[in-house]
């Protein structure tokens, strides 16, 4: 683990986060103890399996914000239909 690591933030789909929290709790505790760094597991309803995010946060970046406020809805993407792309129209 790098020096000055204050926290590891793991954002995963709800089912994956539930699995980690309930079935793999002891393994996560072992990792936290071994590396002396807390791991914050966040369930994100907007993520689908197999997507996930792992962020290393420096000690100066660690926030006291509640975990439920760290999950944000994704921005909407503008997607063109096949017909528009075939016609060569710009979106």
- Integer Cα distance of 56 and 68 in angstroms: 18
Q: Return mean pLDDT, the chain.
A: 89
Query: Binning pLDDT at 50, 70 and 90, where does residue 85 land?
Result: low
The predicted structure's pLDDT at residue 89: 60
The predicted structure's pLDDT at residue 80: 67
- Which of the two residues, 88 and 54, has the higher pLDDT score? 54
CA angle 68, 18, 8 (to 5 degrees): 60
Which is it for the CA torsion 42, 50, 54, 77, positive or negative? negative
The predicted structure's pLDDT at residue 1: 78
Model pTM above 0.85? no
Share of the chain residues as helix, strand and coil, in percent rounded to the nearest 5: 35, 25, 45
């Amino acid at each position: 683990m790098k020096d000055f690591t204050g926290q590891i933030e793991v954002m995963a789909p709800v089912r994956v986060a539930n699995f980690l929290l309930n079935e793999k709790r002891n393994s996560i505790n072992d990792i936290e103890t071994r590396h002396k760094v807390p791991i914050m597991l966040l369930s994100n309803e907007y993520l689908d399996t197999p997507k996930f995010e792992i962020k290393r946060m420096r000690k100066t970046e660690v926030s006291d914000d509640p975990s439920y406020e760290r999950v944000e809805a994704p921005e909407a993407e503008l997607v063109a239909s096949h017909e528009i792309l075939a016609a060569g129209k710009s979106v």
